[in-house]
Amino acid sequence: MTSAFATTPVGRAINTLSKGRYLQTPDQVPGWQIPSSLADKIAGLPSSSTTGSFTRAASQESKRDSIERLKDQTQSEKPTYDDLEASRAEHNKSDDLIQRATSQVLSDGANLTRAESIKKAESISRAISIPVAKESSSDDHIIVGWYDDQDPENPKNWTFGRKILVTLAICFLTFSVYGGSSIITPSIPGVMQEFNVSQTQATVTLSAFVFGYGFGPLVIAFWADIPKIGRSTPYWTSMLALVLFNVGAAHSKSYGTLVTMRLLSGMAGSPALATGGATLGDIWLDLQLPKAISVWAIGAVCGPVLAPVIAGWAAMNVGWRLPYWIFVAMSGVGLIITLFVLPETLPDNILYRRAKRLRALTGNQKLRGQGELNQLAMKPMDFLVEAIYMPIRISFEPIVLYSSVLLGLVYAIFYAAFEAIPIIFGEIHHFNLGEQTLPFLGLGVNAFFLTLPFYILYLVYYFDPRFIANIKKGIIRPEDRIILAMLTSPLVIISLVWTGWTSKASISYWSPLVALSLYLTPVFLLFQSILVYLSFSYVEHQNAVLTANDLIRSTIAAAFPLFSTAMFKQLGLGKAYTMLAGISLALMIPLYGLYKYGPKLRAMSKYAHNYEADIPAQ
């Protein structure tokens, strides 16, 4: 297996500059043999497990003979649209594979233990996710795929430790970018004084960043799905841009420059947020993925709630610019991680590089990765349709629109807390600027020690066993994912009303502090449930549906802080939070209808996946 460092941007650069002498991939090691199944296809022979393989240890003369023979076979280099259709037909066989695998589970279900069922379900996931080297779909190319279902270069076959390393790296990137939104909230009074602007204008520095990372995936994140580019290049280039824009914000000499730098910073940080889930999807199997995403989501939650704690004391004791410089340091560490720690995980990119090395080794220009062929046959307009049109179009789907507005509201109320806390703990309970950030610690404690453990235990001991049992019965229902959100959503109403009506000087500050901390639990579980539900419901358009959700959610959240302070002061905290609770209740009631009628809505959609149609006839 190639080392984790060898597939990082710096590791690949060292390998390229040394012409394969250092940080070698397996096929660059002297004596490496091409697997016989692929060697037979290269030589134009029928597949045979006993056929000899081409090796790097072969004599130069026989190698030249082999190369000359292979070159004589080479025809057209660039696939046509017909080639793409033929290769896509090969990929469509995966639907048959899903049905055969499901049928196998159904037929064996009565005789399987829970452990055996989990192993069987994961084998289905592996079979679907790991295509082996396929027969060429035309005479013009030979598909280079995974050599077998245990291919060590496939990210889903990496060691557990390597997967944990990637997951933690993604968690830090997410923590640092999301933290960048709220880390400047203690600087708002300083910005007001420095540039002689109102509190609402100063708060635009927060809103601009949030809108930037919501809008950014629409024009940036899709690059990470292009086989020739992969995931790691957008990661490190966007983090470099984030560092530079953060430096610009910290150095800003005018209010307009500051807001512009914050908007661009948000856009630059968006690939780390939009591609993080896809990266985890590259490496974890289906039953493991929700748990990995829940750990990743803790980084998303703790970034906004812990960053102000770090920055509050800095802004109070040094000045309003120091929190911006702290964000420069955080994004700088993120840049180092993307360059030296985070390996490439996109399967199509790994196979593209493998095919490129094999072409150089054998001289056969027919060797291509499937993703490379798809990319070569796509027109620029196809990229624009997938990256921009599809997220906009799919956002009008009833399921997507409702889910995005609901998450946007709870997300906006979450950000409104950054405006409410100075009022509750500063004006009412007379905390200083540094002490006003301490209530955020309550949110962090809840996230790490209560909500995350509860959610993982729920998956392991409740949801996963029932999910497997339903597969045995021929039932695959994405709506089951939102049961937990339905059960915990009333906590949103309780938390909001509790916060609003106990934020008084006559009541201990512990009461609103606990109430605010409670809000995190239903918000976290609501996000986990709905985002996983959307991914399962629109499995063929996951990128588009999550980009649409991100754009709608972030737009709503970016707008809220601009008027929330005035709302709290004019209505009073009790009435304001009660109004927010009423709006939340109105939007959460349809969640129960979505659970009941979701299958019908999916069946009527041209983009949602109809699992009911996948179940084979009994």
Tens digits of per-residue pLDDT, 367-384? 999 888 888 877 777 777
> What pLDDT was estimated at residue 31?
83
Mapped onto helix, strand or coil, the DSSP state of residue 345 is: coil
> What pLDDT was estimated at residue 252?
95
How large a percentage of the chain has pLDDT more than 70? 83
pTM of the model: 0.81
> What pLDDT was estimated at residue 77?
41
Euclidean distance between CA atoms 481 and 287, whole angstroms: 13
> Please, where are the H alpha helices in 275-346?
276-283, 289-317, 322-340
Query: Are residues 183 and 308 in contact, defined by beta-carbon separation less than 8 angstroms?
Result: yes
> What pLDDT was estimated at residue 613?
61
Q: Which amino acid is at 70?
A: L
Give the sign of the dihedral formed by CA 348, CA 349, CA 354, CA 360. positive
Residue 78's nearest CA partner among 350, 378, 357, 381 is: 378
Rg (CA), the chain: 26
Could you tell me the residue ranges of all domains in the chain? 5-61, 81-151+347-377, 157-345, 379-618
- Who contacts 205 (Cβ-Cβ below 8 Å, separation ≥6)? 184, 187, 188, 191, 258, 259, 262
Would you identify the CATH topology of the domain 157-345? Growth Hormone; Chain: A; (1.20.1250)
> What pLDDT was estimated at residue 2?
65
Query: Are residues 599 and 612 in contact, defined by beta-carbon separation less than 8 angstroms?
Result: yes
Specify the length of the chain in residues.
618
> What pLDDT was estimated at residue 103?
36
Residue 305's nearest CA partner among 437, 449, 455, 495 is: 437
Residue 142's nearest CA partner among 383, 363, 350, 382 is: 363
Euclidean distance between CA atoms 326 and 437, whole angstroms: 16
- Who contacts 597 (Cβ-Cβ below 8 Å, separation ≥6)? none
Residue ranges for the chain with pLDDT beneath 70: 1-2, 44-139, 612-618
> What pLDDT was estimated at residue 150?
87
> What pLDDT was estimated at residue 423?
92
Equal CATH topology for 157-345 and 379-618: yes
Q: Which amino acid is at 159?
A: T
For residue 55, give the DSSP letter. Answer: B
Residue 121's nearest CA partner among 104, 137, 145, 146 is: 104
307-313-319-322 Cα dihedral, nearest 10 degrees? -40
C-alpha angle 43-46-49 in degrees, rounded to nearest 5: 95
Options 1.20.1250.20, 1.10.357.10, 3.40.225.10, 1.10.3720.10; CATH for 379-618 is 1.20.1250.20
> What pLDDT was estimated at residue 114?
42
For residue 617, give the DSSP letter. Answer: P
Q: Which amino acid is at 39?
A: A
Give the number of other CB atoms < 10 A from CB of residue 604.
11
